[in-house]
Homo-oligomer: A and B are copies of this chain.
Amino acid sequence: MSKNKIKIGVAGLGTVGSGVINLLENNKNEILKRSGFEIIVQCVSAANKNKKRPCNINKIKFYEDPIKMVQSEDIDILVELIGGESVAKDLVVQALEKKIHIVTANKALIALHGNELSKICKNNKCDIAYEASVAGAVPIIKVIRESLNSNQIHWVAGIINGTTNYILTEMLKLKKDFGKVLKEAKDLGYAESDPTFDIGGIDAAHKLTILSSICFGIPLNFKSIYIEGIDNIELDDLNYAKELGYVIKHLAIGRKNSLGIELRVHPCLIPNSRLLANVDGVRNAVVISSDAAGPTLYYGNGAGSYATASSVVSDIIDISRKILSSSNRSIPFLSYQDKELKNKSILNINEIESRYYLRIRVANKPGVLAGITKIFGSKSISIESILQKEDLVNDKYVPIVLVTHKVVEKNIIDALQNIEKLDVVKGKIIKIRIEELDS
């Protein structure tokens, strides 16, 4: 008779870990009815056994040290939900060397150490699955690796950080500035007490590292990503963008163009009519444009205990099915066969082409615009539209909002440097890229 039980160990009992324990318990029957086998949580580890948790671990063997757990227990799969890099990496390496498969929700681990872990997996004939590392409940990793696997992918663009999307959504809705909304987000638990990774774009860049590798067949390459956060976005810009028919979103973008691959995380203006423009609050969504399927979009909860657990458990079931059938033919870790992962030219941000939203504070007197447009002309930048706004508080200076046609970023940067030197211009110019997201 064939084996019909899978034994797992869960390392880390925070939000996601508790969700996994609860989901496996609450939906045990549903899972069994679909998969045909049982998943047994044989052991768990966390720093403090007696901490109050939203899950019941009374009947599960407990370890304070996850490494000791892996060394002592005979398990099929280790579910790594500790997060961060150092402990998680040691733990995963030890488990793989004991021929234990890995399921993880840890984007930093995969983005920064995945290339190395892939080799250790191969040597030990083990899998490492990471659906939950990007976009929570949205099965974007499976879709790219298993559904779009006959497609050449042109570009991927996603709202993949819930905190930044929540803040931008609330700023516009409540007409409040960044600082106020960030404080409220912290109070509501939508932002970490130290939100630097989210606000600054690092979290989204970890996820884009993973998405771009499996979309384009390049090794994981976090260092090549251009990163901007949302800390410079002002309520004024959200309002002006709206007036122009756009919404400002924090996007992660990977795109093949004729020169190489663009990898960038930054705020963008998106036309109102795009579905991505209507993805609000803590929800995530990813659009993929590929040659056969065309544009496809995937949307759902980007975080949360059960939403992330849903993806973790789907990975557990996939690996279990493989263990129980002793299948030797895995879906490649990074979607492409290892030998096909090629370092391709990643473009510097200076080389990308975009349209731009620019907000310039200028002296409220005649002839100002002429000086500015002359500089734009010298850099071959043409202007699509101009909004001249009154400033009721301070009429010595007024904002001008400009939208450019497509131009190489380097030219914009040069032009803005020259414009900022003009006497009639006050302060730093706000520059936000416009993404059409057309296929």
Contact between chains at A34 and B332 (CB < 8 Å):
yes
A146 neighbours in B (Cβ, 8 Å): 139, 142, 146, 314, 317-318
Contact A148 B310 (CB under 8 A): yes
Main SS at interface, chain A:
mixed
Q: Are B33 and A336 in contact, CB atoms less than 8 angstroms apart?
A: yes
A86 at the interface (CB under 8 A from B): no
Chain B contacts of A331 at CB under 8 A?
A: 321
| Chain B neighbourhood of A109, CB < 8 A | none
Interface residues of A in 256-283 (CB under 8 A from B): 273, 275, 278-279
Within the oligomer, what is the number of copies of this chain?
Answer: 2
Closest residue on chain B to residue A341 by CB atoms: B33
Residues on B with beta carbons closer than 8 Å to the beta carbon of A200:
none
CB contact under 8 A between A295 and B300, given known A151-B27, A324-B329? yes
Please tell me which stretch of A62-70, A204-212, A286-294, A377-385 contacts chain B, meaning at least 4 of its Cβ atoms lie within 8 angstroms of it: A286-294
Total A residues in contact with B, Cβ cutoff 8 Å = 67
Nearest B residue to A295, CB-CB? B300
Chain A residues in contact with chain B, CB under 8 A? 2, 19, 23-24, 27, 30-31, 33-36, 131, 137-139, 142-143, 145-152, 217, 273, 275, 278-279, 285, 290-301, 304, 306-307, 309-311, 313-314, 317-318, 321-322, 324-329, 331-332, 335-337, 340
Name 18 extra pairs, CB < 8 A, besides A31-B149, A34-B217, A139-B143. A30-B150, A30-B152, A34-B337, A137-B292, A137-B294, A139-B146, A142-B146, A147-B311, A148-B310, A275-B278, A285-B297, A295-B301, A296-B299, A297-B297, A297-B298, A297-B300, A299-B299, A322-B327
